[in-house]
Amino acid sequence: MKNSGRTRKALITHYQQYPQLQIQDLFKYLHQSSFGCEHMVSSLETATDFIRKESECVRNNSALVDRLDGNYSRVHLSYLNRGLSPVTLGKLFFESAKIEPDGKENPEHKLSIAKELINEKLLPFSADEFDEAVKAWQAQGYPAVHHSDIFRNAYAPAYRVISNRFIPFLPLFAAIDKALEKGRVILAIEGGSASGKTTLSQILKDIYGCTVFHMDDFFLRPVQRTRERLAEVGGNIDRERFLEEVLIPLSKNEPVRYRRFDCATFELSPVTEVIPEKLTVIEGAYSMHPSLSEYYDISVFLDISPELQRQRIAVRNSPQFAERFYNEWIPLENVYFSQMQVKQRCSMRIEISE
């Protein structure tokens, strides 16, 4: 059956990491793998308050993130010692409870895999005892369960279950939270086509309520698209207008008045005025051009493999439009990344693997 190998590997790894787990701890792992954390979340305020209180007496855990067998992971509260704030973790926890409401995996398949491992002596439980426990859990409708006392005493579990869509960005969230303690923050998101820059900017907007500016709003106007300009490395964005209309006002903590490039008319839209929030995000390729990069407090490069990049572009675009990415835009981006050492100059790199 689909994902059987993944489930086998996940259960074996979990047992190796926590050899004193009991059957009910295994049920808890399988429940969280299937259903996430929605059963635990009543409100954002309550979730955040519990995190604050619990973090006061939590001990460090070497495994900051435990991947579950599904779309979720356990994030240990000791991640707060890396700079992640209780408020941000609370929001991630709360938002994760709303992920994929119709995509829950049935735990019965996972239980059948666990039974196979028990029969193969790869999990340390009695087959008869496991069967009886499964029948009782099944009769109740697979409810959430608590950790066993043995597991609690051995490992002092203190974590929150978070959607995997947030997991790659935990180091970035921690860096943002630390920087925000000192004042306003301007963050640049760089990376190639289809690397997830817009998706990340929306995640940040959902979590932080930040202001977002898109480099796509600063395409060159037709009159600017001279042979000389297009021959420049990183020259196919109106970085001069972006600097004047956005970055300089931001650096002075002033309102931003800028004009978006309209791809339908190839003209500039009327002036839009924005009063930036404490966190401002600049999203898009060419945002780390040397003439712009000095204005950022944090910069992150989303590093995607050519294979995954092509897969994403093929799914999102017609074959004809995808060819323009492959043959025109991606080569230009790659020259810019290489010659201007964009990846090396960013303060953080995040590998995008799925």
Sorted by sequence, the CB contacts under 8 Å of residue 38 that are 6+ apart come out as 97, 98, 101
pLDDT at 103: 46
- Is 65:74 a contact under the CB 8 Å cutoff? yes
Q: What is the pLDDT along the chain (354 residues), one digit of tens a residue?
A: 457 899 999 999 999 999 999 999 999 999 999 888 765 667 888 888 989 988 887 776 668 999 999 889 999 999 999 999 999 999 999 888 865 444 456 788 999 999 999 999 999 999 999 999 999 999 998 988 999 999 999 999 999 999 999 999 999 999 999 999 999 999 999 999 999 999 999 999 999 999 999 999 999 999 999 999 999 999 999 999 999 999 999 999 999 999 999 999 999 999 999 999 999 999 999 999 999 999 999 999 999 999 999 999 999 999 999 999 999 999 999 999 999 999 999 999 999 988
Partners of 299 in the β-ladder: 188
Strand pairing class (256-258; 348-352)? unpaired
Sorted by sequence, the CB contacts under 8 Å of residue 346 that are 6+ apart come out as 188, 190, 288, 299, 300, 301
Could you give the angle at the alpha carbon of 282 between the alpha carbons of 250 and 309, nearest 5°? 170
For the residues of 294-326, what is the DSSP string, one character each? Answer: GG-SEEEEEEE-HHHHHHHHHHHS-HHHHHHII
> In sequence order, which ranges of 120-188 are alpha helices (DSSP H)?
127-139, 149-155, 170-180
pLDDT at 323: 95
Ordered by start, the domain boundaries in the chain are: 4-165, 169-352
CA distances from 189 to 195, 212, 277, 290 (A): 10, 10, 17, 14
Nearest to 333 by CA among 228, 188, 191: 191
Could you give the angle at the alpha carbon of 324 between the alpha carbons of 320 and 327, nearest 5°? 125
pLDDT at 40: 61
- Is 191:301 a contact under the CB 8 Å cutoff? yes
pLDDT at 61: 66
Partners of 160 in the β-ladder: 75
Sorted by sequence, the CB contacts under 8 Å of residue 85 that are 6+ apart come out as 177
End-to-end alpha carbon distance in the chain: 21
Tokens of 43: 């409100």
CATH no. for 169-352: 3.40.50.300
